Amino acid sequence: MATKIHMEALSPTMEEGQLVQWLKSEGDEISTGDIVAEIETDKATMELVARGDGILRKIFLSAGGTAEVGAVIAVIAGGDEDISGIQGTTGGTVSPAPPPDTQAQTPPVPPAEVPPPPAHENLAVVDGKIPPMPGRVKASPLARRLAEEMGVDLANVQGSGPGGRVVKRDIEAAIASNDSAEEAASWTLEESEYEDVPTSQMRKTIAKRLVTSIGPVPTFYLTVDVDMERVIQAKSSINTMLEPKGMKISINDVVLKAVAAALRRHPNCNAQWHEGFVRRFNAVHLGVAVAVDDGLITPVIKNAHSKGIARIGSEVRELAGRAREKRLQPDEYTGATFSVSNLGMFGIQEFTAIINPPEAAILAVGGIEDAPVVMSGEIVMRPRMRITMSCDHRVIDGAQGARFLQTLKSMLEEPTTILV
């Protein structure tokens, strides 16, 4: 009996998938459990396994094609089984066209002979000057040198000098749209003015979820300024102890540990909004935003409240690495109760993050910079960091969010409270 290969829901939020590549070809023997294809979901690239035995008789969806969940994309059947009645979803990379029938080709027409250009000595002299040779662009020596350095084809430049002569300003105008000489050197008029980049499954899902969040979610923001001197000292001491083991932690690891500890004291912020009820969690599952080539994904540190800083850091780096390779499993990027996004490493001092429903909040962490503060009546420079919390007002009130940030601030300014 024929077995249809469907586009399966390989993640909880997947609505459609893109076929990255087939790992089997038509005519191959297939057994149940064999990995037959790779599918790009809204979160990662997943493996599609066969649900039957036989021969891969027909592939409907080619590499690069997209199909909705449940669509038939291929058929496994016996060698002599009739599958003509099975319809599937097509699309993807078009197979190269077969070579044309050489017998039916029209003999090529030989190019017309082009007479050679007249010799230089036959050109007429006007006003004591020899005109430029046919095909030669009139340009000043400076314009020629600049064009050569910048890789600009003089034949494609409209001259504005006397008699249509190309001058320096014409070359500068040709490269004005480029940000650097390197970009200008590779620029040609044949290049398109823009590029339409196909939307990946991840980017489509990000777009849908952000619209869902910004529209109906009543969001307010709370910002607090934190003195990070003690965290920097603690990080240095911990890394000295971890060095013999080949391990180290980052400032972000300390922040994540502090967030998990603070959420345990404020479970009303460790919550999700659902129609008809608010779900408050005892366990803290932290979503950590990771930038990937075509979007953003939030691997989840499960039970972060029960893990030490070194372990949190190790898990973050391991999950982030596999996220960039699109190798995360669905249970590794779902189930977050609270999320953290850190852009401090990019020099961003302060920003607001968009809540990822159904979570009720997300924390935006900025960079650390020295700032003047008053201590004991004196102005001194201290390392400061701004953190902004985006809150769903249906779940978290202003005072509740403020108390959470007060606790988080105190933990970061005295990190021994989360190290013992």
Mean pLDDT is highest, among 287-291, 293-297, 405-409, for: 405-409
pLDDT surpasses 50 at 115? no
What is the reported pLDDT for 135?
54
What is the reported pLDDT for 106?
45
**Active-site residue set:** 393, 397
What is the reported pLDDT for 136?
65
Q: Could you give all domains of the chain from N- to C-terminal order, each with its CATH number? A: 3-77 (2.40.50.100), 136-198 (4.10.320.10), 201-419 (3.30.559.10)
pLDDT for 316-366, tens place per residue? Answer: 999 999 888 888 888 899 999 999 999 999 999 999 999 998 999 999 999
What is the reported pLDDT for 119?
43
What is the reported pLDDT for 146?
76
Please write down the HEC assignment for all residues of the chain.
Answer: CCEEEECCCCCCCCCEEEEEEECCCCCCEECCCCEEEEEECCCCEEEEECCCCEEEEEECECCCCEEECCCEEEEEECCCCCCCCCCCCCECCCCCCCCCCHHHCCCCCCCCCCCCCCCHHHCCCECCECCCCCCCCCECHHHHHHHHHHCCCHHHCCCCCHHHCECHHHHHHHCCCCCCHHHHHCCCCCCCCCCCCCCCHHHHHHHHHHHHHHCCCCEEEEEEEEECHHHHHHHHHHHHHHHHHCCCCCHHHHHHHHHHHHHHHCCCCCEEEECCEEEECCCCCEEECEEECCEEECCEECCHHHCCHHHHHHHHHHHHHHHHCCCCCHHHCCCCCEEEEECHHHCCCCCCCCCCCCECEEEEEEEEEEEEEEECCEEEEEEEEEEEEEEECCCCCHHHHHHHHHHHHHHHHCCHHHHC
pLDDT mean across residues, the chain: 82
What is the reported pLDDT for 216?
79
pTM (2 decimals)?
0.61
What is the reported pLDDT for 105?
45
pLDDT surpasses 70 at 148? yes
pLDDT band at 143 (very low <50, low <70, confident <90, very high): confident
